[in-house]
């Protein structure tokens, strides 16, 4: 049998703490003022179900009438949440008690009932038979619907204080012949967080190691916490900005997780502060601040470094300590080889702005750009470069509108500023590309696209090069033809391409039907 059941109190006198609740229940018994429904609420492991059972036994006077125990019915709402379970309870409640004066229902974790089940329970709470008493227990009273709450006598239980828990643990240790010192009992009581049941479980857990004596060092190791001497050493080293690798190794070897380390450091510093053994309020505030960040800290070394960094940043604050100079945080760790990263490419180093550098930069930018930017850069060419003023040209209004949009324009400007020495000013114009020293004509291979004009404005073409003498071209009559890639009947056909300004759809004349209509 688990120790928390083995040593569960059997009377109000055995219950440590909860004086107010015990007083209300005992007064109800002595003055015979029994309410039809009670709600016992509070944290886990503080005695809600235990007090309900003791009160039920006293109501039916089990000590003198053991058969009345049959009229005490316990129900776990966590595993009986549905409306059918409550209907069954209501039907059984119609039957008077067999041996005792009352028919008593103890419903544990009542907040787990469904909304429909609570509404069904509400009916019998409104008009209960005179022999019915409900004792409801919960850790979350806020989850019970208000109409049910309003019909209950509410009793709030608080967490046990450390002295009560230590007293209970010392009594159990004596009965189980466990040799354990007061410091160890104090540590267990603190780890339980006000829950007497959790404290008894921890004592039972460490007793399985069957040591001849449990001192604070062994108990800390078994519970996965740091010994007090190691805590004191760590606090001193953080305060002196000289954390040694030896201390960090010991902390890591303890197996404590980062969050537990932070909580234990804060708890220990608060204890020292209450005992007037420490006046280091700055470190207390810093640890509390680090805990409040709720960072996903993966190691105790990271937690220690974060505390030290935060502490050092605060103690050198000129507002609070104007006479202190900045010092590096003294975390002394074993030396490790320094891994260097590859130097950044020339593309991302600041260079002077020239026509050639800008041309190379735009070509490189095409290789790794968002799809929309890549389409814009394909149509983009340099108009002029003067000092830090750049004129960039596009061939049509659609691309102009795209590049002038806030998002695309700022993206391009940021890239240019990151690459060149001075902040650049960008001007966007619509212009047709012309032959210039910076725009040389390339040899056209037989597999490439070949430009063909209409019969009236011919451009002489052979399969290897384009004649340098280019006549004036009527842009509305430009065609593209693909050679040696399509069947002859398709290769001989031509498709006109409209290259003029696209008309506004709202002002377009009715005579224009389709500007892309085939000839």
Q: Does residue 213 register a pLDDT over 90?
A: yes
* Domain positions in the chain: 18-156, 162-223, 228-319, 348-430, 442-519
Asked whether the predicted pLDDT for residue 503 surpasses 90, the reply is: no
What is the Cα–Cα distance from 390 to 15, expressed in whole angstroms?
85
- The whole-number pLDDT of residue 314 equals 65
Q: Is the pLDDT of residue 237 over 60?
A: yes
Residue 495 is predicted with a pLDDT of 54
The token duo for 248 is 């960090």
Closest CA to 377 of 341, 408, 420: 408
pLDDT score, position 362: 83
Torsion on CA atoms 121, 123, 127, 131, rounded to nearest 10: -30
> Which pLDDT score is estimated for 359?
85
pLDDT at 202 over 70: yes
Determine the 3-state secondary structure of 485 from DSSP: coil
Q: Which residues, in sequence order, are bridge partners of residue 391?
A: 384, 427
Residue 511 CA from chain centroid, whole number: 63
Are 130 and 164 in contact by the 8 Å Cβ rule? The answer is no
Are residues 118 and 145 in contact, defined by beta-carbon separation less than 8 angstroms? yes
Greater model confidence, 105 or 461: 105
CATH 3.40.50.300 fits 18-156, yes or no: yes
Q: What is the pLDDT of residues 37-74, one digit of tens each?
A: 999 999 999 999 999 999 999 999 998 888 999 999 99
| Range in 181-195, 416-430, 463-477 the model is least confident about | 463-477
What is the mean predicted confidence (pLDDT) over 393-412?
80
> Which letter does DSSP use for residue 325 in this model?
P
CB environment 116-140: b (16+ within 10 A), e (fewer): ebbebbeebbeeeeebbbbbbbbbe
- Do 198 and 192 touch, CB atoms closer than 8 A? yes
First vs last C-alpha separation in the chain: 97
Least Cα distance to 152 among 111, 91, 115 occurs for: 111
Instruction: Give CATH superfamily name and number for 348-430.
Output: DnaA, N-terminal domain (3.30.300.180)
Rounded CA separation 309/241 (Å): 9
Q: Tell me how crowded residue 514 is: count the other CB atoms within 10 A of its CB.
A: 7
Widest CA span in the chain? 124
Lowest mean pLDDT among 197-206, 350-359, 406-415, 479-488: 479-488
Sheet strand arrangement including 381-386: 381-386, 389-394, 425-430
Q: Give the CATH architecture of domain 162-223.
A: Orthogonal Bundle (1.10)
Say what the pLDDT of residue 350 is: 67
106 strand-pairing partners: 74, 135
pLDDT in tens, 244-301: 989 999 898 888 889 989 998 988 888 888 766 555 778 888 898 888 888 888 888 8
Distance CA 441, CA 481 (A): 19
Q: What is this structure's pTM? A: 0.57
pLDDT of 323 above 70: no
How much is the pLDDT for 217? 86
What tokens appear for 503 in the block? 């008309």
């Amino acid at each position: 049998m688990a120790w928390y059941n083995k040593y569960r109190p059997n009377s109000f006198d055995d219950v440590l703490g909860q004086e107010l609740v015990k007083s209300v229940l005992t007064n109800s018994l002595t003055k015979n003022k029994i309410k039809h429904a009670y709600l016992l609420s509070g944290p886990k492991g503080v005695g809600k179900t235990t007090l309900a059972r003791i009160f039920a036994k006293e109501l039916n006077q089990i000590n003198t009438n053991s058969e009345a125990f049959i009229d005490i019915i316990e129900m776990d709402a966590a595993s009986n949440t549905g409306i059918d379970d409550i209907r069954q309870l209501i039907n059984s409640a119609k039957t008077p008690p067999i041996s005792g004066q009352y028919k008593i229902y103890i419903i544990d974790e009542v907040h787990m009932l469904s909304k429909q089940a609570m509404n069904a329970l509400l009916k019998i709470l409104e008009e209960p038979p005179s022999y019915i008493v409900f004792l409801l227990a919960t850790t979350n009273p806020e989850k019970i619907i208000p109409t049910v709450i309003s019909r209950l006598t509410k009793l709030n239980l608080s967490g046990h204080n450390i002295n009560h828990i230590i007293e209970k643990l010392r009594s159990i240790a004596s009965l189980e012949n466990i040799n354990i010192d007061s410091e160890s009992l104090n540590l267990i009581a603190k780890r339980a967080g006000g829950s007497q049941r959790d404290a008894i479980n921890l004592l039972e857990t460490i007793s399985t190691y069957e040591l001849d004596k449990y001192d604070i060092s062994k108990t800390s190791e078994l519970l996965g916490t740091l010994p007090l001497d190691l805590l004191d050493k760590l606090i001193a080293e953080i305060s002196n900005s000289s954390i040694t690798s030896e201390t960090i190794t010991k902390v890591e070897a303890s197996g404590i997780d980062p969050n537990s380390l932070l909580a234990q450091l804060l708890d220990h510093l608060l204890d020292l502060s209450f005992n007037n053994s420490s006046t280091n309020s700055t470190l207390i505030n810093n640890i509390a601040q680090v805990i409040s960040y709720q960072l996903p800290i993966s190691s105790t070394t990271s937690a220690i470094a974060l505390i030290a960094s935060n502490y050092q940043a605060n103690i050198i604050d000129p507002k609070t300590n104007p006479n202190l100079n900045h010092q590096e945080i003294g975390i002394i760790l074993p030396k490790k080889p320094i891994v260097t990263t590859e130097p950044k490419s020339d593309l991302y180093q600041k260079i002077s702005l020239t026509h050639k550098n800008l041309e190379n930069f735009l070509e490189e930018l095409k290789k790794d750009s968002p799809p929309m930017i890549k389409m814009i850069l394909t149509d983009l060419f340099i108009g002029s470069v003067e000092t830090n003023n750049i004129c960039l040209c596009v061939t049509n209004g659609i691309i102009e509108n795209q590049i002038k949009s806030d998002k695309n324009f700022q993206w391009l400007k940021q890239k240019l500023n990151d690459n060149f020495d001075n902040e650049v000013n960008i001007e966007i114009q619509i212009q047709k590309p012309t032959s210039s020293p910076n725009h040389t004509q390339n040899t056209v291979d037989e597999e490439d696209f070949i430009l063909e004009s209409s019969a009236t404005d011919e451009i002489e073409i052979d399969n290897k090069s384009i004649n340098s003498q280019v006549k004036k071209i009527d842009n509305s009559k430009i065609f593209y033809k693909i050679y040696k890639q399509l069947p002859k009947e398709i290769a001989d056909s031509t498709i006109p391409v409209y290259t003029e300004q696209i008309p506004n759809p709202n002002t377009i004349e009715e005579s224009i039907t389709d500007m892309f209509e085939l000839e």
